[in-house]
């Protein structure tokens, strides 16, 4: 099993969720996060004063998947989140050792 973490633009969340639903992935955790990469922030004008915005708002999606679903999930996220501009985001894949569903006690793939 793997944990897929995707950092995407906030306005792309609905498209990514729909793309994942189409391939049968329904469960995910979504968090509002802030960060920066190559963008290194930007400046905004507020009441005539210029402010440096160091951290850009993003959305983090966490999904635990069986190994056979990972490649399809990556393709779905990339196709739905890609605009071709800097700041589209990143996907990280990490191994998961064990999963336990608290309500039923199911473990590993049956708990996902």
Write the pLDDT tens digit of every residue in 36-89: 777 666 666 777 777 777 788 899 999 999 999 999 999 999 999 999 888 899
Residues 6+ positions from 27 with CB-CB distance below 8 Å: 63, 64, 112
Question: Which three-class secondary structure state does DSSP give residue 82?
Answer: coil
Residue 110 has pLDDT above 80, yes or no: yes
Distance CA 79, CA 108 (A): 29
| pLDDT, mean of residues 90-96 | 97
Distance CA 95, CA 52 (A): 37
Instruction: Please check whether residue 3 is in contact with residue 63, taking contact to mean a CB–CB distance below 8 angstroms.
Output: yes
Looking at residue 16, its pLDDT comes to 97
């Amino acid at each position: 099993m793997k944990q897929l973490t995707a950092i995407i633009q906030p306005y792309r969340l609905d498209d990514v969720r729909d793309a994942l639903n189409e391939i049968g992935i329904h469960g995910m955790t979504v968090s509002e996060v802030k960060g920066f990469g190559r963008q290194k922030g930007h400046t905004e004008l507020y009441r005539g004063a210029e402010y440096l915005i160091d951290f850009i708002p993003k959305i983090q999606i966490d999904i635990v998947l069986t190994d056979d679903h990972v490649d399809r999930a990556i393709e779905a996220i990339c196709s739905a989140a890609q605009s071709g501009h800097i700041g589209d985001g990143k996907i990280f894949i990490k191994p998961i050792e064990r999963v336990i569903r608290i309500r039923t006690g199911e473990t590993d793939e049956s708990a996902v």
